[in-house]
Chain A
């Protein structure tokens, strides 16, 4: 299977199943399209009025060479491999710890409903958190790297417990031969010097939530009492934080909605403010929400990604580049095919833990009782739900089977699929269109940056 597209002056051909990516001239580009559809014999007739005969022959020669080398028109040979891979014994290697189901902002699009996740306000006790870490260690098999994300609500509202849990995890690393990678996702309201110092020492990654330009941020991320500007409170803190972060990983992470379909401006706003690790993602919202992205918004969103990609390249070449999470792609040393096809790991490798110690497949399922998997005392007992997630991979999804993006998105987000279709093996179609565009942009950027100037 191939996927070909033109972007920013480049003719790009992806050989989907081998992972090969080619930049080709017009003759090869047109020839490949005919070759795939009607076979080699049809190419010459199909292009004879358009290009000289010798050029067509030369193009065909190069196409044959690619094919002989397994770089074009390769077949998908991975289904059984990935099914076997997914059937392996389940180990848990990552937890999303909901240390606070409470929040000091009132973000309108919060899937946690202002931090409370369809339930009551609560904070996680040290005892519950400790049991969660013990569970992770005991159920991680021979995996050495264990990931723990402090999430909420707003995790800094339970800061003392966060610090104690980090200390507890570290205290067990050596005896258990494990390496904890702690991360935290915060809205910044309570960020201070003490927090910064600890986070810089202990956390492998920090996600700083802010949406972009002041008016964009404040529209969707109001303060709890609706007064003042949350942007004015958090922006200076985030700038200070990013400056002091050194080489360690962080992201300023925004959400865009129907109210800022020109979200490239928000990405560039972050870059202009000095941030170099940026993620801005489409909102996940029920279709009836006024801020939800609609199908009719797609043309504008897709062209906005193109615009952002061009500006991304321009700034990179001028020596003032930045990273945009969704344009990052590692073509040569990216994840193995097992990882690419097996999905995000929710419900199996990755679990969310509520303040009172319940397990859910991921943070987005928290509070939906039919997805309750177990808890820190009894472990994962709802194996029916777990096994559904276990077998959830690209080949279990009809929509993904023939999609070129399947090796990059891994079949998409199970929670999005559930929210829109009531099934975890479907796909959120608007999300797919955006994902495909981002992959196309990311690959085009590679082509442009490989192209000198």
Chain B
């Protein structure tokens, strides 16, 4: 495509297939402790 550069495709829908294992880090155990930030974490299964 000439006018569109796609940075990332349909990752959320894909993740329904085998997501939800629950092994990833709890968000407040990272650095925050006062805000809920989930989108910046990584999937445990991709490590």
Contact = CB atoms under 8 A, between A and B. Distances in A.
Interface string B1-36: 111111111111101101110111111111111111
A18 B10 contact: yes
A310 B7 CA distance: 19
Q: Give the size range of B's interface with the partner.
A: 35 or more
A18 B3 contact: no
B36 A337 contact: no
Q: Give the size range of A's interface with the partner.
A: 35 or more
Interface of A is mostly: mixed
A62 B26 contact: no
Contacts of B44: 145
B12 to A, nearest CB: 4
Contacts of B8: 19-21, 331-332
A385 interface: no
Contacts of B30: 205, 251, 325
Contact of B12 (A19, A181, A363, A412): A19
Contact of A71 (B3, B9, B42): B9
A34 B44 CA distance: 39
Given A149-B29, A346-B28, A66 B4 contact: yes
Given A20-B10, A446-B7, 20 more contacts: A21-B6, A22-B6, A23-B7, A58-B3, A66-B6, A78-B12, A78-B16, A145-B44, A251-B30, A325-B30, A325-B37, A327-B40, A334-B11, A335-B24, A335-B41, A337-B19, A338-B19, A338-B20, A340-B39, A431-B35
6 smallest beta-carbon distances between A and B, as pairs: A336-B19, A408-B39, A19-B12, A338-B20, A336-B15, A333-B46
